[in-house]
Structure 1
Amino acid sequence: MQTLGQKISFYRKNLRISQEELAFRTRTGVQKIQLIENDQLVPSKEMLLKLSTVLEVPVSELEIDRTHSAIH
């Protein structure tokens, strides 16, 4: 099972956009994108919506079950 960060990285690379471009399109910082992709930061629902829009995937594809998340 892929983590949220792995999914975001996969879809980003599939669109051939850099972390910098994803950060720009979601109006956030590159460091935040790096933390999300490395599963060190769980994005807010608002950020998930932005990511799903930019990555052209349904938000349900990026949602995670926070009760079973390995992130502390």
Structure 2
Amino acid sequence: MFYGKVPMMIFILASGYLFTVYLLLALAKRSENKNTSKDSSVVSSSNHIQDMSVTANVTEIVNSQ
């Protein structure tokens, strides 16, 4: 094997790896944005209900002391 071409091969492989990671992160971000836009109304209503139940529990504990 010719060792003179090894540094160039390392550079090419590292560049390909970084480009692949960049593409996968961009794809994950894009799919996350699509999911959050579809489920935003469901998430906000479930968070509101959960907040109300926590507030009721805290109020009961404070009033019982």
Q: TM-score, normalised by structure 1?
A: 0.20
Structure number with the bigger relative contact order (C-alpha 8 A, sep ≥ 6) is: 1
Q: TM-score, normalised by structure 2?
A: 0.22
